Structure 1
């Protein structure tokens, strides 16, 4: 059974005065739930967990799980380039009540494909939760080969992969090899439609922070067989997606949410800094039909 089907938001973590803004976090979650989102990803890349303390990560995850109350799956980030740290995160997430965990490939210290197999099996052995592997070689320097996914497919809780390599040929090979043994989610807002056409179960999205109902509808139009409308929606949101990745994520999406008046501050902890493309983001939002504040 799939962890979710549709669009899941990789949610930002709002800060104010260098502290987690829990009031805005609740507002963000409510907006997602009211606008059709199918799952929430907390403490993923977009949530800035690498600049949060252990206490803050746990507090954010716990607050969201408590507020959502099982209305949609809450998937918690549990990634590290230290397998034992990733296991500890996974165990803590299980205790917090996560519905699944998302765990990125080890980064910086770069491992072999055999190392990836051992890494993910160790995490899966440590918890009784569904595990979503996360392949984003542009950030990590490590790519999960399709053949490696096949070795891991169905091992204990390893039930899905977030594929963000940006490589359509790799995705086609992955889908052919896996042949339904593991769910695949697009990790690229600009490639949702083509990945759905190749069998993806949905998208883990940054753009849905801004347009949750739109992203949900775009995916479900495809599932309902209205491929023309789904494609048109993908084409319409393309300029906004481009703006949302014109700088390192989550810099642009926080800028967008502030311009929309949804969060009071787009502050990020160093080494991330505020957007230098505010005017471009405002134009992209307005062109998409989203009003912005002065």
Structure 2
């Protein structure tokens, strides 16, 4: 597989983790038949680049990765990566998530990405069955054995298998594992993750819970992964810059605007937010609204509520 170096040097000889900065968990644009369509996401890519974004995560939760076939993810990743690198240049970073119910399917999805010009892959814990820590360790070790940089993705609400601090401590001994994206929502545990990360240069921890971005940066997060960054990329980039530089007051103020955007997901309570996000992007002229089955389009009431909400967020959206 073509995989770039798992970290890049920064000034002063330090090592910059791959999950640094504002990483956007990009949607997968689908055509009317539900097939990934890289050309259709170009307006959104341009919008993100204008907002100062340089890093993308493909085929994650927002990218509907678990619902898409591996060959479809490969084609989309290949085309989007080429477009993103042409648009952003040397600063561009692209990661792709691989999600399977077990290690075998996860490895198959990783192997399907062979030859794609990626900086890293993002690997979730297996799902459906509950697994021991030893089994989770073996799962991530198997992914790292494919000789490409791996970012571990802790999303217990979806997998049912949380990644505990004790496991991360053991994963630090795996040179192929270069970071952690945490969606647990546990701020105390997140702080422990960041403390562990300081012990290994080049290993970074990123916060995926949008309402906790400013707190995560105060705790030492290397990066943030906000889905609402697709709606207001400059806002999320500014929040990261403020929080990572120690300007807590500005970061906290910007967090309030991020929270306003995140409130959009309440329009369809209990869902992952995929349909609301894609429909909002469509209303902004950035991406088709089509989502993978079994997702259903917005109802008339949901669409009306979303239009009203976006009108009320015009001041935030203008930041991008």
Tell me, yes or no, whether TM beats 0.5: yes
In the alignment, what sits opposite 2:295?
272
In the alignment, what sits opposite 1:244?
265
Alpha-carbon spacing, 1:237–1:73, altered in 2? closer, same or farther (3 Å): same
1:130-172 Cα offsets, whole Å, 9 max, x none, are 2110111111111001111000014121111111011112222
In the alignment, what sits opposite 2:10?
none
1:143 aligns with 2:162: yes
In the alignment, what sits opposite 1:284?
309
User: Any unmatched runs of 5+ in structure 2?
Assistant: 1-14
Deviation, structure 1 residue 89: 2.5
| Separation (CA, whole Å) in 2 of partners of 1:248 and 1:223 | 28
| Separation (CA, whole Å) in 2 of partners of 1:212 and 1:272 | 25
Deviation, structure 1 residue 228: 0.9
1:228 aligns with 2:246: no
In the alignment, which of 95, 107, 115 is matched to residue 75 of structure 1?
A: 95
| Separation (CA, whole Å) in 2 of partners of 1:138 and 1:118 | 21
| Separation (CA, whole Å) in 2 of partners of 1:144 and 1:54 | 25
Cα contact 2:36–2:73 (8 A) shared by 1: no
In the alignment, what sits opposite 1:164?
183
User: Any unmatched runs of 5+ in structure 1?
Assistant: none
In the alignment, what sits opposite 1:256?
280
In the alignment, what sits opposite 1:198?
219
Cα contact 1:243–1:280 (8 A) shared by 2: no
In the alignment, which of 194, 197, 202 is matched to residue 175 of structure 1?
A: 194
Q: Secondary structure at the match of 1:84?
A: helix
Cα contact 1:187–1:203 (8 A) shared by 2: yes
In the alignment, what sits opposite 1:184?
205
In the alignment, what sits opposite 1:84?
104
**TM-score, reference length from structure 1:** 0.92
In the alignment, what sits opposite 1:5?
20
| Separation (CA, whole Å) in 1 of partners of 2:298 and 2:132 | 36
Q: Which has the larger displacement, 239-248 or 3-12?
A: 239-248
In the alignment, what sits opposite 2:232?
211
Cα contact 1:132–1:160 (8 A) shared by 2: yes
Q: Which has the larger displacement, 90-99 or 153-162?
A: 90-99
Q: Secondary structure at the match of 1:95?
A: coil
Query: CA-atom RMSD, angstroms?
Result: 2.0
| Separation (CA, whole Å) in 1 of partners of 2:121 and 2:45 | 18
More RCO (CA 8 Å, sep 6+): 2
Aligned residues, how many? Answer: 290
In the alignment, which of 104, 107, 110 is matched to residue 130 of structure 2?
A: 110
1:193-240 Cα offsets, whole Å, 9 max, x none, are 101110101111211111111111110112233221111000122121
In the alignment, which of 30, 41, 44 is matched to residue 60 of structure 2?
A: 44
**TM-score, reference length from structure 2:** 0.84
